[in-house]
Amino acid sequence: MEQLLTTKRLDSFAKHRAEEAQHLVRDVWAQAQTGKSVNLREMLGAFSMNNVTRMLLGKQYFGAESAGPQEAMEFMHVTHELFRLLGVIYLGDYLPFWRWIDPYGCENQMREVEKRVDNFHSKIIEEHRRARQVKQGEEVGEGEMDFVDVLLSLPGKDGKEHMDDVEIKALIQDMIAAATDTSAVTNEWAMAEVIKHPHVLNKIQEELDYAVGPDRMVTESDLPHLNYLRCVVRETFRMHPAGPFLIPHESLRATTINGYHIPAKTRVFINAHGLGRNTNVWADVEEFRPERHWPEDGSRVEISHGADFKILPFSAGKRKCPGAPLGVTLVLMALARLFHAFDWAPPKGLRHEDIDTTEVYGMTMPKAKPLLALARPRLADHMYQ
């Protein structure tokens, strides 16, 4: 996985990310011209999905150059159904005999989704194999290879010439599951909290106007200098982690940590939601206050966890999420573009403080209802083309 997410390889897809950021701004601008509310869940979901699938599969599933509505809908439906089933509390995981009974049909649903996911991935792999055969002998630059191309070129285990399809499919699904829904959920939460707190929006826009100005769009090179926006993202991770729990870990051997004995093969769950609401660490835990993360020395805000481990949106240590740099970039880029290009307000008839922040618990933790908001362009018209 680390070979796929090196800085050099991520940089090779910077052009695609910039194109998708402009598509996002253009789509919001087009909706703003109608005077109707923008469905930010749909917009941000398409942005995240396109970025990931262009890097991973070499395809865009939403927009003018998409792979086609039928394939896009199949991809979306399978992905959402997979997340739904992964988030179900299933007694068969804890009481094996329950799997034989299966009164709610969970086993059958899982097998059906597994079959659809496998067929979808098989189709993707075969398409890439055929394309590689056509280009055989041609020199292909790193920026022209998506992640499936890279996987097909890597050696397999135990001296095999190539990775087998099962390994490739597993890595594809890991990347899709880890990168699509999580960044979209985080972006929607950040937008909801900022629209709910207009003084925060004013501060973000002051920073953007100073660092970027009105004559160009935000680029990835601007992101390290947007310290207040980075505080906003960190506060969003504190209050609304994309998933309530981190991926489970298991102890390889018995150990003692801070006086607690942990037997071998103990499954450990880290409550990311609880970390952000810990009253021994955070004051006014239910208040959205990005300023709490502002460093006294003015240094750059570390979004993922920093040295204090007060929040762990990407876990930590050797098993931390290898896609953290990509995830942070996608979140920052979407938010910076949207706050720089538009003023935001609740739908007509709704006050800022009435923005609904009810959560839904599952594999991820999105808003209960999609975020709708009014966008008003704040740049010259030609900037949105």
Most confidently predicted of 135-139, 149-153, 171-175: 149-153
Known binding-site positions for heme:
321
Range of weakest confidence among 62-66, 201-205, 268-272: 62-66
Is 143 a residue whose pLDDT tops 60?
no
User: What is the CA 212 to chain-centroid distance, rounded?
Assistant: 25
Give the H/E segment covering residue 256.
strand 255-257
pLDDT score of 380 more than 90 = yes
> Which residues, other chains included, contact 42 with Cβ-Cβ below 8 Å and sequence gap of 6+?
370
Residue 378 in this model has a pLDDT that exceeds 70: yes
Q: What is the DSSP string of 43-106?
A: HHHHHHHHHHHHHHTS---SSTT-S-HHHHHHHHHHHHHHHHHHTS--GGGT-TTHHHH-TT-H
Higher pLDDT, 248 or 185: 185
CA–CA distance, 205 with 189 (Å, rounded to integer): 18
Calculate mean pLDDT across residues 327-338: 97
* Torsion sign, CA atoms 105, 176, 18, 189: positive
In the annotated binding site, the residues are 321
Query: Which CATH topology does 2-384 take?
Result: Cytochrome p450 (1.10.630)
Chain-centroid distance of CA 124 in Å reads: 22
As a whole number, mean pLDDT of residues 349-372 equals 91
Pairing mode, if any, of strands 38-39 and 267-268? unpaired
pLDDT average, residue stretch 194-211? 98
Give the per-residue pLDDT at 1.
Answer: 59
Closest CA to 48 of 250, 184, 155: 184
Mean pLDDT of 39-51: 92
CA distance 274 to 252: 25
Instruction: State the pLDDT at residue 4.
Output: 66
Asked if residues 265 and 246 have their Cβ atoms less than 8 Å apart, the reply is no
Ramachandran angles phi, psi of 148, nearest 5°: -65, -40
Q: Is the pLDDT of residue 164 over 70?
A: yes
pLDDT band at 136 (very low <50, low <70, confident <90, very high): confident
Amino acid at residue number 371 = L
Domain regions of the chain by residue span: 2-384
Range of weakest confidence among 80-84, 271-275, 346-350: 80-84
Residue 56: pLDDT band by 50, 70, 90 thresholds? Answer: confident
Contacts of 158 (CB under 8 A, 6+ apart): none
pLDDT at 365 over 70: yes
Look at residues 21, 38, 19 and name the one whose alpha carbon lies nearest to residue 336. Answer: 21
User: Would you place residue 290 in the very low, low, confident or very high pLDDT band (cuts 50, 70, 90)?
Assistant: very high
HSE at residue 337, side-chain half, CA atoms within 13 A, is 28
Contact 143, 58 (CB under 8 A): no
Determine contact, residues 149/132, Cβ cutoff 8 Å. yes
Query: What's the confidence (pLDDT) of residue 64?
Result: 60
| Residue 159: pLDDT over 80 | no
DSSP summary character for residue 357: -
Residue pLDDT, tens place only, 89-126: 777 777 777 777 777 788 888 889 889 889 988 999 99
What percentage of residues in the chain have a pLDDT greater than 70?
94
E-state strands within 6-79: 38-39
Token pair listed for 338: 């949207």
Has residue 142 got a pLDDT over 60? Answer: no
Position 306 scores a pLDDT of: 59
Q: pTM of the entire structure?
A: 0.89
Q: Output the pLDDT for position 137.
A: 63
In this structure, which amino acid lies at residue 28?
V
Give, for 345, the enclosing helix (H) or strand (E). Answer: strand 342-345
Q: What is the mean pLDDT of residues 328-340?
A: 98
Mean pLDDT for 19-24 is 96
Positive or negative: CA dihedral 216, 222, 223, 226: negative
Q: Mean pLDDT across the chain, nearest whole number?
A: 88
Asked if the model's pLDDT at residue 213 lies above 70, the reply is: yes
Q: What is the pLDDT of residue 373?
A: 98
> Side chain identity at 114, as an amino acid letter?
E
User: Which one-letter amino acid corresponds to residue 283?
Assistant: A
pLDDT at 319: 78
Residue 47: pLDDT over 60: yes
Strand runs (DSSP E) across 169-285, as ranges?
249-250, 255-257, 260-262, 267-268
Inter-residue contact 327 to 305 (CB < 8 Å): no
